[in-house]
Amino acid sequence: MTTLKKVGFIGTGIMGAAMAGHLMDAGFDVSVYNRTKSKAQALIERGAKWCDTVGECAKGQDVVITIVGYPKDVEQVYLGAGGIIDSAKAGAYLVDMTTSSPILAEKIFASAQAKSLHAVDAPVTGGDVGARNATLTILVGGAEDDFNTLQPIFTAMGKNIVYEGSAGAGQKTKACNQIAIAGTLAGVCEAFAYAKASGLDVEKVYSAIATGAAGSFQMTNVARKGLDGNFNPGFMLKHFGKDLAIGTETATAYGASLPILAMVLHEIRKLEAAGNGDLGTQALLKYYGVK
């Protein structure tokens, strides 16, 4: 049986810092890299080893995990000169937990395979709360044997860990998740926009519908925060826009028509242009004039 001990963790932002901390709690020897070192400081103070470059963080590790911003960042850290694939030791496991392009995930898988590396795409859902509580849902694409070997890594960070299929399947499933959220969140915002426009008390409407057939996580956990005037990000609007853009672009490649997704992405882009990109996804209420 393969023993995994040394982990390089690249990307210690809102999600990554908590996830790397859980790996340390589980007894893994964790090295970290982040473009902004201060975001890794708490982990360093707990005993994580700081690395000055992506390549240094990948070198000699049993597992290299990434959770960075955008597909272009994923491509750079994996396929760029001196990046992960150039630097990782033969036999290492590469785990991209960024929400990224399934087409890019397939490309990374093939490049890793050519160098005797094991690459999986493993995007997560559950937001900052799931990351802090180690209750993330982890959606995995790649070789099933690699998925099985990586179970101790995944179980340190999440609860619902699902093997979705071959390379790219984790990213495709995450796109399905974000597509479903987009329509649900927009519907919730429209409901409260209608309530406000028609002269109803929005709070009374919320109390009446939140626990019935119209209820959802997006209503009670996301929109609720916005209705309370709290737009701090559990998940930034600009990152949601990135995810929806991946969905629209790959839907075109796969021949799927997703008009609701395109509509919500348009709304998010308008909010971003108005300077709201760093707010939480509950800021979609602002587009509809509810807040």
pLDDT at 127: 85
Is residue 266 a part of any domain in this protein? yes
* Sign of the CA dihedral running 202, 290, 231, 178: positive
Question: For the segment 180-202, what is each residue's pLDDT rounded down to a tens digit?
Answer: 999 999 999 999 999 999 999 99
Give the list of residues 6+ apart from residue 177 with CB closer than 8 angstroms, or none. 125, 139
Angle between helices 259-273 and 237-254 (to 10 degrees): 150
Tally of structural domains, the chain: 2
Predicted pLDDT of residue 30: 98
Q: How confident is the model at residue 273 (pLDDT cuts 50, 70, 90)?
A: very high
Give the pLDDT band (50/70/90) at residue 82.
very high
In a domain, 45, yes or no: yes
Looking at the structure, tell me whether residues 183 and 153 fall in a common domain: no
Classify residue 1: in a domain, yes or no. no
Domain's final residue, options 166, 191, 221:
166
Q: Same domain for 221 and 246?
A: yes
Question: Does the pLDDT value for residue 234 go beyond 90?
Answer: no
In a domain, 127, yes or no: yes
Amino acid, res. 75: E
**How far is the C-alpha of 163 from the C-alpha of 146, rounded, in Å?**
10
Show which of 135, 166, 197 is a domain's final residue: 166
Of 286, 179, 158, 291, which is closest to residue 228 (Cα–Cα)?
Answer: 291
* Cβ proximity of 258 and 265 under 8 Å: no
Are 204 and 114 part of one and the same domain?
no
Tell me: do 229 and 117 sit in the same domain. no
pLDDT at 262: 97
Provide CB contacts within 8 A for 20, sequence distance 6+. 9, 12, 30, 32, 43, 48, 65
Q: For 135-140, what is the mean pLDDT?
A: 98
pLDDT at site 84: 98
Using an 8 Å Cβ cutoff, are 164 and 142 in contact? no
Residue 15 has pLDDT above 80, yes or no: yes
As a whole number of angstroms, the distance between CA 150 and CA 147 comes to: 5
Domain boundary among 140, 166, 192: 166
| CA 103/CA 219 separation, integer angstroms | 32
Q: Are residues 61 and 184 in the same domain?
A: no
Q: Are residues 148 and 208 in the same domain?
A: no
The pLDDT score that the predictor gives to residue 2 is 76
Residues 220 and 275 occupy one common structural domain = yes
What is the predicted pLDDT for the residue at 128? 87
At 14 the pLDDT is 86
Tell me the average pLDDT of the chain.
97
> Do 14 and 144 sit in the same domain of this protein?
yes
Asked if residue 261 is part of any domain, the answer here is yes
What is the per-residue pLDDT for 192? Answer: 98
The CATH number of the domain where 201 resides is what?
Answer: 1.10.1040.10
Same domain? For 260 and 184 the reply is yes
Q: Are residue 28 and residue 143 in the same domain, yes or no?
A: yes
The pLDDT of 75-97, averaged and rounded, is: 98
Q: What is the domain range of residue 261?
A: 173-287
27, part of any domain: yes
Q: Both 101 and 145 in a single domain?
A: yes
| Domain assignment present for 192 | yes
CATH code of the domain covering residue 48: 3.40.50.720
* pLDDT tens per residue across span 16-70: 999 999 999 999 999 999 999 999 999 999 999 999 999 999 999 999 999 999 9
- Tell me, yes or no, whether 54 lies in a domain: yes
Active-site positions read 174
17/125 same-domain check: yes
Is residue 1's pLDDT more than 70? no
End-to-end CA distance of the chain: 55
